[in-house]
Amino acid sequence: MYWEIYRTDIRGGKRMARKTEKDDISKTVEVRVFPNGKMELITISGATIGRAIFEPGWQWSTSVQPIAKIMSCKAPHFQFQVAGTLKIVMDDGAELLCKPGEVSLLPSGRDAWVVGNENVVILDFHGMEEYAKKAA
């Protein structure tokens, strides 16, 4: 989890990282490809970060659901939208329209799809470990 990469002590009002690290997301450790998109994953200090690229025509229920074999996306997400427009409809009926520069926190249970003709690019800081993995 996110908080596991930080020390429990607080110095100067800020949490301190255990060690200095950096990585290049273009040199991803794992790439999961699905219809109209892909997920690129890296792990740094035990935290997995995903860069999702969804092409026009991507929809969770038609592109990922057949792989995951569940009714709606159960992975929670904490994500920053880099490009494109993404429509999200939660199982309870709540709706979001996410655009570049926005941050979203999404609990389990939703469908989502690309709006328009631009790729959606998202950096996700929580919830990617199991995303688009083939069901056992």
For the domain bounded by 22-124, which CATH number is listed?
2.60.120.10
Domain ranges across the chain: 22-124
Q: What is the overall mean pLDDT for the chain?
A: 84
pLDDT one-digit tens code per residue, 15-33? 555 678 888 877 777 898 9
Query: Do 54 and 88 form a contact (C-beta atoms < 8 A)?
Result: no
pLDDT the model gives residue 69: 84
Rounded to the nearest 5°, which phi and psi values hold at 78? -130, 105
State the average pLDDT over residues 1-17. 47
Task: Give pTM, 2 decimals.
Answer: 0.81
For 88, 111, 133, the CA distances from 92, given in Å and listed in that order, are 11, 11, 25
